[in-house]
Amino acid sequence: MTVIVTILGLGRFNKDTGRYVYEEATYQWSRFPDKPVKTSLVQEALRKWFPEADILALATEEALEHTWPKVKPIGNVCFRKIPKGSSQNEFWKIYNAVTESLPYRARVILDFTHGLRSIPLITLLALVFLRAAGRIELEAVIYAAQEAKTPEGITPIFDLTPFLAMLDWAGATERFLEIGDTSKFHKLTIRENAPQSLVQGVKELEDLSYAVATNRTFLAGSHAFKALSIDHEIEKWGEESGPIKLLLNEIKEVLSHLAIRQDMKLEEQLQQLFMHVAWYLKHGYYEKAIGLAREWFITFVQYKCIQFADISEQHILPVNDEIRSRWDSTIGRIGSNLLQDKMRLQSQVRSVFGDNFELTEEWKALFAVWQRLKDIRNDLLHFGFRSHPKNPDEVRSEVESCLCDLKKAVEKMGLELPEIR
């Protein structure tokens, strides 16, 4: 059902009659170009444009006395008494009056032509909240602009609905920056004449989100890199794309942290992949952060052993399953007891790490972190199906501590990494 929410005012006070009056005007809305309505009440024009709609009139005590008797005969209209909005407590009363008066899933048109002071703003905020909660569909926000009357005497109805897109873009961007979900971007580009570069950029963001959700790290990096060119034809974007233009810097900063190019050297890829680890940690994806860190660890060990082993960058990334399986198995056998026996450890890993591999203090510190990585990852991936699972605070603390120690150990071995907090 359609509900028109309108705010009743008082009009101009006529000293001769001692009454409040509204001047007669010819209202015209571009949605109904062939249906101008001549009346002193904008509510009457709305009734003629929407004959089946319910009208909810928000009225202060004065408006109930002076304006409501004129509006009531329009038909199918009810009122809700509201205060003037002279205090914060009254603001909440207005807010509650709006949210409590609308049926579920109503299609709402807000008219604030005669709104007083803060009443239109509070009403709009209430409707925006209901819209965000999925309670209503906010079809239109309109205002009859007497000050914009044409020489022909037409008072235009301004439709401010497109500006709600600013809230949608802001909400979509906030969700992406906070949790990496881009689902809200897609519907914002499903419109006629949307710039192709924007549509394609949002498609890459959507694919990035799916790749992140399914732990496809290199695919996520690829989509992030492609999405960086979202603004390559920004000069062709229309005014309706203004909100996303303002938010591009924040979006592109995140993308730059996640982007992986095919022409990156292995060292660059390791640094960029660690950015993924840091991003997961920052956004509370602890199982993803620690899981990716484990895979990253194996790749880093391979990278550092190029000087000893029969392996090159081309054997490391892109991944060669057979080679990686051998390295994964070898590293997996390194436990705390083996770390205490240098000669035994070297003899067990040199067939893979290379004959010249030496267990230095730096390597010992690195492999000490490996034990913690495995333990925390196993705890997380058992989803609490253990006799003594870590509590959430312990998980958060241990993941952060472990990754900080990994960063320190790696940097002592010569590879600078981004901050992870």
Higher local confidence (pLDDT), 288 or 185: 288
Q: CA neighbours within 13 Å on the CB side: how many for 28?
A: 14
- DSSP, collapsed to helix, strand or coil, labels residue 86 as coil
Closest CA to 61 of 95, 85, 92: 85
pLDDT at 335 over 90: no
Model confidence at 195, in pLDDT bands (50, 70, 90)?
A: confident
Mean pLDDT check: name the lowest of 16-20, 46-50, 76-80, 140-144. 16-20
The residues, ordered by sequence, that sit 6+ positions from 154 with a Cβ below 8 Å of its Cβ are: 26, 27, 28, 36
Model confidence at 302, in pLDDT bands (50, 70, 90)?
A: very high
| Residue 364: per-residue pLDDT | 95
pLDDT at 410 over 60: yes
Contact status, residue 412 vs residue 362, Cβ threshold 8 Å = yes
Higher local confidence (pLDDT), 251 or 188: 251
Q: CA neighbours within 13 Å on the CB side: how many for 361?
A: 1
Helix (H) or strand (E) holding 402: helix 392-412
A 10 A CB-CB count for 262 gives: 10
Mean pLDDT check: name the lowest of 19-23, 154-158, 243-247. 19-23
pTM listed for this prediction: 0.81
pLDDT digits (tens, 9 = 90+) for 24-39: 889 999 999 999 999 8
pLDDT at 22 over 80: no
pLDDT at 241 over 80: no
| Residue 176: per-residue pLDDT | 85
| Residue 242: per-residue pLDDT | 73
Calculate mean pLDDT across residues 130-145. 92
Phi-psi region of 76 (alpha: psi -120 to 50; beta: other; left: phi over 0): left
Calculate mean pLDDT across residues 341-364. 94
| Residue 157: per-residue pLDDT | 93
pLDDT digits (tens, 9 = 90+) for 107-120: 999 999 887 778 99
| Residue 404: per-residue pLDDT | 96
CA distance 85 to 244: 33
Contact status, residue 352 vs residue 330, Cβ threshold 8 Å = yes
Calculate mean pLDDT across residues 379-405. 94
Model confidence at 20, in pLDDT bands (50, 70, 90)?
A: low
Contact status, residue 48 vs residue 76, Cβ threshold 8 Å = no
Calculate mean pLDDT across residues 95-110. 94
| Residue 18: per-residue pLDDT | 64
| Residue 62: per-residue pLDDT | 87
Contact status, residue 197 vs residue 231, Cβ threshold 8 Å = yes
Model confidence at 103, in pLDDT bands (50, 70, 90)?
A: very high
Contact status, residue 362 vs residue 413, Cβ threshold 8 Å = yes
| Residue 192: per-residue pLDDT | 53
Contact status, residue 124 vs residue 138, Cβ threshold 8 Å = no
Q: Mean pLDDT of all residues in the chain?
A: 90
| Residue 14: per-residue pLDDT | 67
Mean pLDDT check: name the lowest of 49-53, 134-138, 143-147, 380-384. 143-147
Distances (CA, A) of 3 to 76, 124, 161, 420: 10, 14, 16, 50
pLDDT at 325 over 90: yes
pLDDT at 281 over 90: yes
| Residue 191: per-residue pLDDT | 63
Calculate mean pLDDT across residues 250-262. 92
CA distance 176 to 212: 12
CA distance 183 to 168: 12
**Highest averaged pLDDT of the listed ranges 250-259, 294-303, 328-337, 340-349:** 294-303
